[in-house]
Amino acid sequence: MKKLVFLIIILLLLIGGISGFTWWKKQEIERLRTETVYLAADAPTLTLTSASGKETEFIRGTEIELRVHPPKDQTCRIFLYDEEEYCISEEITVREREDAVLDTDKYALYPSVIYEDRGNFRIAGSVSAGEQLQLLSHTPLQEDGSVEGWFVSNGETQGYLPSADLSDTQPQWEVPAVHAQRENDYDGGAPGDVIYPDFPVTVIDGNEMPREVRALYLNKVAAGEIDGYIELAQSSGINAFVIDLKESDGICYQSRAVQAYSPTSYDTAWLTWEEFADSVKKAKDAGIYLIGRIVTFKDLSYAQDYPEYTLQDRNTGQPFLLYNTYWPSPYQREVWEYNMALAVEAVDEFGFNEIQFDYVRFPDRISAVYDRIDFRNDRNETMIQAIQGFLFYAREVLHEHGAYLSADVFGECSNAYVTAYGQYWPMISNAADVISAMPYPDHFGMYSYGISQPVWEVPGQLLRRWGEDVVERQSETPSPAKVRTWLQGYDSNHEPYVEYTTDMIIEQINGLYANGLDDGYMIWNAPSNIIRYWRYVPAFEPHFAE
């Protein structure tokens, strides 16, 4: 009997031990059981410290196997990486990789437009530098933990912004001392109204800009008769054309983009789409670098379609007639978008390498009528802020489409002030890839810079002196553009009348290059007179090995 009891006790102990072991084993298995999750953060990377004190940087969205149950004495969760144990909060893990982005808001790094959608130049709204934005969603998470862009809201507008336009903290832009010390008595604004980012030099794969651009200007008539200009280029050092896409009195060809925005502008087209495409293809096939010129904020036809976006007469509420034309307002984003539609079409459909915006300014010489004009300034911006905003927009869109941005400025911009029409050399040079001034000698005062004879008689001497100021302006911006200058290719308009011969072209080139302003030049001759261009051929010799 005693033996039976003993055996029963042993059996019970054995069963209990087996059960206990099974329970313990289940607990151990449960303790070590894992689930697949992803590391989450409000930045592309996050740094974690292991139990042994080793710090490791992880990419946001990294897949890990996280233990389901934490140790009894800890509230964190455990995962192993490279034989190291990490104890992390459950707050930085998510079950879906796309949920690994924890950012909730950011700040606008630059004055920017909010785009209607990703990859679309259409404008939904605008933001100022430093403005706080709510993040609504983001583009797919990249392998490096970053995202290309965000859908944002500023309380009034929702739309898309690239990540490059946003900052985690409110940016603190400083105006260089040389700008801040300048006094400004002009209506265009002050140097400190805008920011001066240190943009990297843009090099677009598959779109190499010549070291020295030597270009002829082709108006809309010349664009339709391009064979002779191509022959001239192939017989000389000319390697680029500046072709009108839009002048103040109409567009060069039947642009589908323009038709969608301004039927009146479309009706002024000189060439059909097919004629223009054929001309451009011939130039491209000949290896010519193509620059599309757009007269931006001076447009009679667009103003007729959209008088509400023009400079208006305060007394009548109608478009203000200035210099026998109307001026769309640089403050109006609808005007920005219209010009960008034409630019994008020229790049995407015809392969233009660069878009040059002319008249990227407010009207000049308006002091007598200034108080009579309603500038349609809905955002209470200064002129210099509106021009910079447009150029930042153009820069971003054109680079996205694989083209460079250039901007024309008056020769006056070599001076150390913001002009009364909103152009300021350091700001424009900072925003554009190329800045193209128009220091035509017959536009200067007769004895400018103390030169003892009419300056258009000695254009080389004039441009050498003018170029000294340009070099100083270039030094005042953190990322200056290339300087490619317009040269006078027509006879002077003032007494004493001077015929502009080949020697005059050479003098202008030498005057510029003496100051290192040797990124190239463009010959301005409004009628694109091919006979005159042929006469200038000896001046077009390359200065650098190609």
Q: Are 363 and 406 in contact (CB under 8 A)?
A: no
Choosing from 54, 84, 100, the residue where a domain stops is 100
Q: Which residues pair with 86 in a beta bridge?
A: 50, 79
Asked if the model's pLDDT at residue 73 lies above 70, the reply is no
Give the mean pLDDT of 29-35.
62
pLDDT at 503 over 90: yes
Least-confidence region, from 35-49, 126-140, 169-183, 350-364: 169-183
Structural domains counted in the chain? 3
Q: Which of 371, 385, 373, 293 is nearest to 330 (CA)?
A: 385
If asked whether residues 146 and 263 sit together in one domain, one would say: no
Domain-embedded: residue 206: no
The reported pLDDT for the residue numbered 30 is 47
The domain boundary, picked from 100, 128, 143, lies at 100
Q: Is the peptide bond before 496 cis (omega within 30 degrees of 0)?
A: yes
Residue 76: the pLDDT is 83
Is pLDDT above 60 for 510? yes
Confidence of residue 14 (pLDDT cuts 50, 70, 90): low
State whether 111 and 242 are in the same domain: no
Domain-embedded: residue 202: no
Is 339 within the bounds of a domain? yes
CATH of the domain at 378: 3.20.20.80
Q: Is 50 exceeded by the pLDDT of residue 24? A: no
pLDDT at 5: 58
Cβ count within 10 A of residue 340: 25
Mean pLDDT (whole number) for 161-186: 81
**Looking at the structure, do residues 322 and 447 belong to the same domain, yes or no?**
yes
What pLDDT score does 187 carry? Answer: 76
**pLDDT > 50? residue 25:** no
Q: Are residues 288 and 353 in the same domain?
A: yes
Determine which of 66-70, 257-261, 481-485, 531-535 has the lowest per-residue pLDDT on average: 66-70
Looking at residue 90, what is its pLDDT?
84
Rounded to whole angstroms, what are the CA distances from 277 to 190, 272, 349, 351? Answer: 43, 9, 9, 10
Residues 6+ apart with CB under 8 A from 386: 330, 331, 377, 422
Could you tell me the CATH number of the domain that includes residue 122? 2.30.30.40
pLDDT above 90 as % of the chain: 83
Cβ neighbours around 12 below 10 Å, total: 10
* Mean pLDDT value across residues 238-255: 97
Residue 480 token pair: 């200056």
**How many CA within 13 A on the CB side of residue 447?**
3
**In 10 A of CB 386, how many CB atoms?**
27
As beta bridge partners, residue 80 has 85
Assess whether 51 and 158 both reside in one domain: no
Q: Mean pLDDT check: name the lowest of 31-45, 259-273, 505-519.
A: 31-45
Least confident of 20-24, 222-226, 284-288: 20-24
CA dist 222 and 531 (Å) reads 12
Q: Which residues contact 209 (CB under 8 A, 6 or more apart)?
A: 289, 353, 354, 404, 433, 482
- pLDDT value, residue 23: 43
pLDDT tens digits along 353-376: 999 999 999 999 888 899 999 999
> What is residue 183's predicted lDDT score, i.e. its pLDDT?
60
Residue 185: pLDDT band with limits 50, 70, 90: low
Query: Mean pLDDT in the chain?
Result: 92
Distance CA 238, CA 228 (A): 13
The percent helix, strand, coil of the chain (3-state, each to 5) is 35, 25, 40
Residues 406 and 519 in one domain: yes
* 507 assigned to some structural domain: yes
The predicted model gives 197-220 an average pLDDT of 96
pLDDT-based confidence at 179, cuts 50/70/90?
confident
Residues 444, 498 within the same domain: yes
Task: Give the mean pLDDT of 503-515.
Answer: 98
Burial classification of residue 47, based on how many CB atoms lie within 10 Å of its CB (0-12 exposed, 13-18 middle, 19 or more buried): exposed
What residue type is assigned to position 324 of the chain?
Answer: N
Determine the Cα–Cα distance for residues 535 and 112; give it in Å rounded to an integer: 46
The region of weakest confidence among 26-30, 178-182, 332-336, 483-487 is: 26-30
What integer pLDDT is reported at residue 313 of this predicted model?
Answer: 95
Residue 298 has pLDDT above 60, yes or no: yes
CB atoms within 10 A of CB 219: 18
Q: Is residue 27 over pLDDT 50?
A: no
Q: Is pLDDT of 71 > 80?
A: no
Edge-to-edge strand list for the sheet holding 112-115:
123-127, 112-115, 158-162, 149-153, 132-138, 105-108, 166-167
Kindly state whether residues 323 and 448 are assigned to the same domain.
Answer: yes
Do 326 and 270 share a structural domain?
Answer: yes
| Residue 197 within a domain | no
Distance CA 486, CA 509 (A): 10
Residue 140: inside a domain, yes or no?
A: yes
Residue 29: which pLDDT band, with cuts at 50, 70 and 90? very low
Q: Are residues 95 and 119 in the same domain?
A: no
Indicate whether 160 and 234 sit together in one domain: no
> How many Å apart are CA 301 and CA 265, to the nearest integer?
5
Q: What is the pLDDT of residue 127?
A: 95
Q: CB count, 10 Å around CB of 187?
A: 17
For residue 109, being part of any structural domain is answered with yes
Which residue range forms the structural domain that includes residue 65? 31-100
- Report the pLDDT value the prediction gives residue 21, as an integer from 0 to 100: 47
Which residues make Cβ contacts (< 8 Å) with residue 97, sequence separation at least 6?
A: 38, 61, 63, 141
380 & 457 share domain? yes
Q: Select the more confidently predicted residue: 66 or 167.
A: 167
pLDDT band for 75, please (50, 70, 90 cuts).
confident
- Per residue in 92-141, pLDDT (tens digit) is 999 999 999 999 999 999 999 999 999 999 999 999 999 999 999 999 99
In a domain, 54, yes or no: yes
